[in-house]
């Protein structure tokens, strides 16, 4: 076959034409559902219309309408078209054959409000090539198009549960089940993996009856399953949204008539109102909803009751997650001990915030780490939102005597002279092999770590065990809390940062999630 040229693959809806380049077959912008536009806005996904002839699949599909993130380092350098017609996926595969390769389906992050499977950092080339796996990246509906419950406020006229974005993910996995064998993949060996809201999505899919059987392994990066809404909270968000739009409750026809731009403007105002402490909405006003049907229960509880018994999981976080978000927190500059205590009291209501702060102070001082109010706050927030939920989800899975693996990523970003530490999203370039000079660094050490992580991720996808030559044996998470440290010094340790973990033992899941 020519080194560069067109290739044809068959799907259940028709033939598509991709490209063959540098040893990979690449298909971009493959429709997996009908456009969720017009009357389909806010409805569950439906199959696309079959087509005759050959559909081009050489350019990425549009991203879901969204507002750029406040944190510039998380926004892609490339401009991408946006449209409510956004349900497309992308495939990188070493061969259109019967090799039955492991399949890795990527669910992007972005707080359930931004992102796309086509961002350059998620380029599947290196992962597919190095691991001889099929990589699929997907889009799903975001923000008010995919995660707002309108069923109650419209008296059922718009039946949106607030989980339409998750249903899109399930629909993409159904496409993988039905089609991936034509792309050299094994539909009976599918790993879902995601980061941030993508990791939270993975955790939520572990609890969703409609997702059962569509995947066999799961990797959760910097996101677990705690960040879901109660129905009561979701209704409160929907009422706020309607108030911003000036739409009366029950105004389904008016809602459907609004333009994409009008809905995005209202979403921006919703974010402003939700950040007001008086709103009671805390983090992520738009997120999956535990409404009893699509999502019957909080994911950690569902997993503890057996919803993911047939799935092997790998879960991890970055050591300094919150340092990234601290970039846009203007109040941190003036934080003192009193303000630190007040913020912790608000974030962890009902807990002994003073004791929590002191535990972090002593543990960090004992390791020679800084203990300024800002350092203590970022460490507490990193654990509250990311590490503790990850540990609890893993423990729920392990309580069923199921295999779980844990990691902690501690590579330090060279950006801003190391001030970001091992912050949120830093591991992405290492997993995909898309390192850059500024955020991840491109030194020999960085490239070596990236190769080790790609080998571990693809080994896990292949066999359910991330053990690989570069890292050595990676033991399952057990009573000793075995955790692989991924950074300059990769090693398996027991119970890292355990003093801090124990400080959260009496804090209930509902507080961690602001349920």
C-alpha torsion sign, points 387, 494, 459, 76: positive
- The secondary structure of 310-330 as a DSSP string is T-EEEEEEETTGGGTGGGG-G
Query: What confidence tier does 328 reach under pLDDT thresholds 50, 70, 90?
Result: confident
Note the pLDDT of residue 278. 80
CATH class of 311-513: alpha beta
Burial 240-258 (b: 16+ CB within 10 A, else e): bbbebbebeeebbeebeee
Q: Domain ranges in the chain?
A: 4-300, 311-513
Sequence-separated contacts (24+) of 236-239 with Cβ below 8 Å: 236/280, 236/281, 237/148, 237/149, 237/270, 237/274, 237/281, 237/285, 237/286, 238/148, 238/149, 238/150, 238/152, 238/153, 238/162, 239/153
Region of residue 329 (phi > 0: left; psi between -120 and 50: alpha; otherwise: beta): beta
- 179 vs 46: CA distance, rounded Å: 16
Q: Which residues make beta-bridge pairs with 40?
A: none
Note the pLDDT of residue 89. 98
- 307 vs 393: CA distance, rounded Å: 12
Note the pLDDT of residue 3. 63
- Percent of the chain scoring above 70 in pLDDT: 98
Note the pLDDT of residue 20. 97
Q: Which residues make beta-bridge pairs with 193?
A: 106, 219
Does the pLDDT at position 514 exceed 70? no
Q: What is the CATH number of domain 4-300?
A: 3.40.50.1820
Residue range 101-136, pLDDT digits in tens: 999 999 999 999 999 999 999 999 999 999 999 999
Which value, to the nearest 10 degrees, does the dihedral of the CA atoms of residues 254, 246, 232, 250 take? Answer: -30
Quote the crossing angle between the two packed helices 353-366 and 373-382, to the nearest 10°.
Answer: 100
Query: What confidence tier does 288 reach under pLDDT thresholds 50, 70, 90?
Result: very high
Instruction: Average the pLDDT over 125-151 and give the result.
Output: 98
Does the pLDDT at position 145 exceed 90? yes
List active site positions.
196, 321, 424
- 249 vs 90: CA distance, rounded Å: 39
Say if 4-300 and 311-513 have the same CATH topology. Answer: yes
Does the pLDDT at position 55 exceed 90? yes
Does the pLDDT at position 1 exceed 70? no
Note the pLDDT of residue 2. 54
Burial class (CB in 10 A: 0-12, 13-18, 19+), 193: buried
- 488 vs 449: CA distance, rounded Å: 7
Q: Which residues make beta-bridge pairs with 219?
A: 193, 314
| Contact present, 217 and 191 (Cβ < 8 Å) | yes
Q: Which residues make beta-bridge pairs with 27?
A: 91
Weakest-pLDDT range from 5-9, 358-362, 375-379: 5-9
Instruction: Average the pLDDT over 472-497 and give the result.
Output: 98
Question: Which residues, other chains included, contact 366 with Cβ-Cβ below 8 Å and sequence gap of 6+?
Answer: none
Does the pLDDT at position 515 exceed 60? no
Mean predicted lDDT score pLDDT of the chain: 95
- 485 vs 482: CA distance, rounded Å: 10
- Percent of the chain scoring above 90 in pLDDT: 89
Does the pLDDT at position 196 exceed 60? yes
Burial class (CB in 10 A: 0-12, 13-18, 19+), 238: buried
């Amino acid at each position: 076959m020519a080194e560069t040229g067109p290739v044809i693959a068959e799907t259940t809806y028709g033939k598509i034409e991709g490209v063959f380049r540098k040893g990979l077959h690449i298909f971009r912008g493959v429709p997996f559902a009908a456009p969720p536009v017009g009357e389909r806005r806010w409805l569950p996904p439906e199959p696309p219309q079959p087509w005759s002839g050959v559909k081009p699949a050489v350019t990425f599909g549009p991203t879901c309408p969204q507002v750029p993130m406040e944190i510039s380092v998380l926004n892609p350098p490339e401009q991408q078209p946006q449209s409510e017609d956004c349900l497309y996926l992308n495939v990188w595969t070493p061969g259109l054959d019967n090799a039955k390769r492991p399949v890795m389906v990527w669910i992007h992050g972005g707080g359930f409000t931004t992102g796309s499977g086509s961002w350059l950092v998620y380029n599947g080339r290196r992962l597919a090539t190095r691991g001889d796996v099929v990589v699929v990246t997907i889009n799903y509906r975001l923000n008010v198009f995919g995660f707002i419950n309108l069923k109650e406020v419209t008296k059922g006229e718009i039946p949106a549960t607030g989980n339409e974005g998750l249903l899109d993910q399930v629909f993409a996995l159904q496409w993988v089940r039905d089609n991936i064998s034509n792309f050299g993949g094994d539909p009976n060996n599918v790993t879902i993996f995601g980061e941030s809201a993508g990791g939270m999505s993975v955790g939520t899919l572990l609890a969703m009856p409609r997702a059962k059987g569509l995947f066999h392994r799961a990797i959760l990066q910097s996101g677990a399953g705690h960040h879901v809404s109660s129905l009561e909270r979701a209704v409160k968000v929907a009422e706020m949204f309607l108030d911003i739009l000036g739409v009366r409750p029950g105004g389904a026809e008016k809602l459907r008539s609004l333009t994409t731009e009008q809905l995005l403007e209202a979403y921006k105002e919703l974010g402003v109102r939700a950040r007001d402490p008086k709103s009671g909405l805390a983090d992520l006003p738009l997120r999956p909803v535990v409404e009893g049907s699509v999502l019957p229960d909080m994911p950690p509880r569902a997993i503890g009751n057996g919803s993911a018994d047939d799935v092997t999981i790998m879960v991890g976080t970055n050591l300094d997650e919150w340092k990234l978000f601290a970039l846009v927190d203007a109040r941190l500059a003036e934080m003192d001990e009193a303000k630190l205590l007040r913020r912790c009291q608000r974030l962890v209501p009902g807990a002994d915030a003073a004791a929590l702060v002191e535990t972090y102070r002593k543990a960090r001082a004992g390791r020679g780490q800084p203990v300024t109010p800002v350092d203590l706050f970022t460490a507490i927030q990193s654990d509250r939102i990311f590490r503790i939920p990850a540990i609890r989800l893993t423990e729920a899975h392990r309580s069923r005597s199921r295999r779980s693996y844990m990691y902690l990523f501690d590579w330090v970003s060279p950006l801003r002279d190391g001030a970001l530490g091992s912050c949120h999203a830093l591991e992405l370039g290492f997993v995909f092999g898309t390192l850059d000079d500024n955020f991840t660094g491109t030194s020999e050490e960085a490239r070596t770590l990236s190769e080790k992580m790609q080998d571990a991720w693809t080994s896990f996808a292949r066999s359910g065990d991330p053990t690989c030559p570069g890292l050595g044996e990676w033991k399952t998470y057990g009573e000793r809390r075995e955790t692989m440290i991924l950074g300059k010094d990769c090693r398996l340790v027991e119970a890292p940062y355990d003093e801090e973990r124990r400080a959260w033992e009496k804090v209930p899941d509902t507080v961690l999630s602001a349920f």
